[in-house]
Amino acid sequence: MNFQLTDEQQLIRKNMREFADQYVEPIAAELDENSRFPAELFRKLGEGGWMGMPIPVEYGGAGTDYLTHILAVEELSRSCSSTGFTVASHVIVALLVLLYGTEEQKRKYLVPLAEGKHMSAFSLTEPGAGTDVMAVTSTAMLDGDDYVLNGTKTFITNGPVAETHFVVCWTDRAAGRKGMSIFIIPRGNPGIRPGKHFEKMGVRSSQTSEVVLKDCRVPRENMIGQAGQALPMSMAIFEQGRIGIAAQSVGILQAALDESIRYAKERVQFGAPIARHQAIAWMISNMTTDLSAARWLTYHAAFLRDQKQPFGKEASMAKLFASEAAMRHTVKAVQIQGGYGYCKGAKVERLMRDAKITEIYEGTSEAMRMVISGNLLR
Ligand SMILES: Cc1cc2nc3c(=O)[nH]c(=O)nc-3n(C[C@H](O)[C@H](O)[C@H](O)COP(=O)(O)OP(=O)(O)OC[C@H]3O[C@@H](n4cnc5c(N)ncnc54)[C@H](O)[C@@H]3O)c2cc1C
C-alpha cells in the first residue's frame, strides 16, 4: 500500500498552487461579489493544459491520470471554488465525448473542449426533474435525417457561456430507462438559447441558467453514443464528477483550515491568542481530522477510477463525506472569526456560502446515501 503521490503529481499540484496564487486568489472575492465569469482566466487555464488534463494528448488534453486532475481541482478550489467547479464540470463533459463519441465527434468537439477554447454545458435537470431523472419531459423527434428537440432545462452550469451543449431528451418514451438519448448542440443553432439566469448564494462566478430548446433541429450524427443510452452514460459521467465535487469540497475545507489557523494565532482576547483557548483549538483539531479523511476518500475514489476498478460507491462516499465536512467546518471557521468572519470581505464567509452547493449538485447528500446503501443492500 502506497499513500505517496508520484513526483509528477506533486509537481503538477505545486504548479497549480502557484498558478492559483498568482491568477485566481487575487480576483476570487471580486468574482464572487459581481457573479463574474472570468473568460480570460479560463483561456489561461486552457493554455496551461488545465481544462482537459485527463484527456489524451492526441485530443488536445494533457494526458494525465484522473487523480492528477483532481489535485488541480482541489488546489484551484482552495482559492476559488467556483473556478474549481467550472473546470471539474467542464472536464466530465469532455470525458463524455472521449468515452462515447465517434472519432469525428472527438476531432470536432472534444479537441476545442480539452484545449479550453470552447466551454461545455451538460443539460439533464428540468424544473420537474431533479433527483428523479425519469421525470424529464424534453423530447427529440426524428424528422427526416434530423432530430427536432423541445423542452426546458434548468440549473445548467455554463448555460449562458457554453459553445457546446450536451442535452438529454426522450427519443423513445415507451422504452423507459432505455428511452433517453444525448445530443450535441453547438452554440449558434437558432433552436437553443439560455433562459432565466440564476443568482446564487455561492459559487457565484460559475454561470447557471435555464437552457431552452424550441424546435431545435440537429442532424442525426449529433447524437452521442447509442440511442437510449443517456442514463448509463450520464451516470458514468456523474460518478467521475462526484470525485470532482469531493475535491472542490476538500479545497474549500483546506482554505477554511488555513484561515482558521491564521486568525486563531493573530486574534487576542483575554490577553492571549484565541488559539490558546481550548474551545478554538478543538474546532481546529476536528477540522484538520475531517479534512484528512475527506482528502483520502477523494484520492482513493480517483485512484480506483485510474486503476479501472469499480468506484461508484467510493465516489459517492467521498462526495458525501467531503461536502458535509466542508459545510460543517466552514460554519466553524466563521465562528472562530466571530463578527469579523460574518462580514463581507472575510474569506470564510465566502467559503461557507460556497460549501453549501457541494451537498446539492451532481447528486444531493440524500441521493449519495441512496447510492451507497443501494450498493450494499441490493
Ligand atoms: C448551481 C447548480 C448547478 C447545477 N448544474 C447542473 C448542470 O450543469 N446540469 C444539470 O443537469 N443539472 C445541474 N444542476 C442540478 C442539480 O444536479 C440538482 O439541483 C440536483 O440534482 C437536485 O435536484 P433538485 O434541485 O430538483 O432537488 P429535488 O430533486 O427536488 O430534491 C429536493 C430535496 O428532496 C430530496 N429528495 C429527492 N428525492 C428523494 C428521495 N427519493 N429520497 C430522499 N430524499 C429525496 C433531495 O435530496 C433534496 O434534499 C445544478 C444545480 C445547481 C444548484
Tell whether ligand 1 has an atom less than 6 A from the beta carbon of residue 15. no
Instruction: Determine contact, residues 78/20, Cβ cutoff 8 Å.
Output: yes
Tell whether ligand 1 has an atom less than 6 A from the beta carbon of residue 357. yes
Alpha-carbon distances, residue 53 vs 59, 94, 234, 252, 268 (angstroms): 11, 10, 20, 21, 44
- Ligand 1 centroid to Cα of residue 314, in Å, is 20
Residue 228: phi and psi, rounded to 5, are 85, 0
Query: How far apart, in whole angstroms, are the C-alpha atoms of residue 205 and residue 219?
Result: 33
- Ligand 1 centroid to Cα of residue 109, in Å, is 28
Tell whether ligand 1 has an atom less than 6 A from the beta carbon of residue 85. no
pLDDT for the residue numbered 237: 96
Give the closest residue (by CA) to ligand 1 atom 30.
130
The atom of ligand 1 lying closest to the CA of 129 is 26
Q: Probe ligand 1: pick from 96, 360, 368, 371, max atoms within 8 Å of CB?
A: 360
Cell digits for 15? 504548479
- Ligand 1 centroid to Cα of residue 210, in Å, is 14
Query: How far apart, in whole angstroms, are the C-alpha atoms of residue 328 and residue 93?
Result: 30
β-pair type (139-143, 180-186)? unpaired
Q: Probe ligand 1: pick from 82, 155, 234, max atoms within 8 Å of CB?
A: 155
Q: Dihedral sign for Cα 244, 245, 251, 254, please.
A: negative
Instruction: Determine contact, residues 120/113, Cβ cutoff 8 Å.
Output: yes
Query: Could you check whether 120-229 and 231-377 share the same CATH topology?
Result: no
Instruction: Determine contact, residues 36/83, Cβ cutoff 8 Å.
Output: no
pLDDT in tens, the chain (378 residues): 889 999 999 999 999 999 999 999 999 999 999 999 999 999 999 999 999 999 999 999 999 999 999 999 999 999 999 999 999 999 999 999 999 999 999 999 999 999 999 999 999 999 999 999 999 999 999 999 999 999 999 999 999 999 999 999 999 999 999 999 999 999 999 999 999 999 999 999 999 999 999 999 999 999 999 999 999 999 999 999 999 999 999 999 999 999 999 999 999 999 999 999 999 999 999 999 999 999 999 999 999 999 999 999 999 999 999 999 999 999 999 999 999 999 999 999 999 999 999 999 999 999 999 999 999 998
Tell whether ligand 1 has an atom less than 6 A from the beta carbon of residue 152. no
Instruction: Determine contact, residues 293/325, Cβ cutoff 8 Å.
Output: yes
Of 352, 21, 329, the C-alpha closest to 344 is 352
Fold exhibited by the domain 7-114: Butyryl-Coa Dehydrogenase, subunit A; domain 1 (1.10.540)
The model's pTM = 0.98
- Ligand 1 centroid to Cα of residue 181, in Å, is 20
- Residues acting as catalytic residues: 362
Could you tell me the residue ranges of all domains in the chain? 7-114, 120-229, 231-377
Query: How far apart, in whole angstroms, are the C-alpha atoms of residue 310 and residue 72?
Result: 23
Fold exhibited by the domain 231-377: Butyryl-CoA Dehydrogenase, subunit A; domain 3 (1.20.140)
Q: What is the CATH superfamily name and number for domain 120-229?
A: Butyryl-CoA Dehydrogenase, subunit A, domain 2 (2.40.110.10)
Tell whether ligand 1 has an atom less than 6 A from the beta carbon of residue 81. no
Tell whether ligand 1 has an atom less than 6 A from the beta carbon of residue 93. no
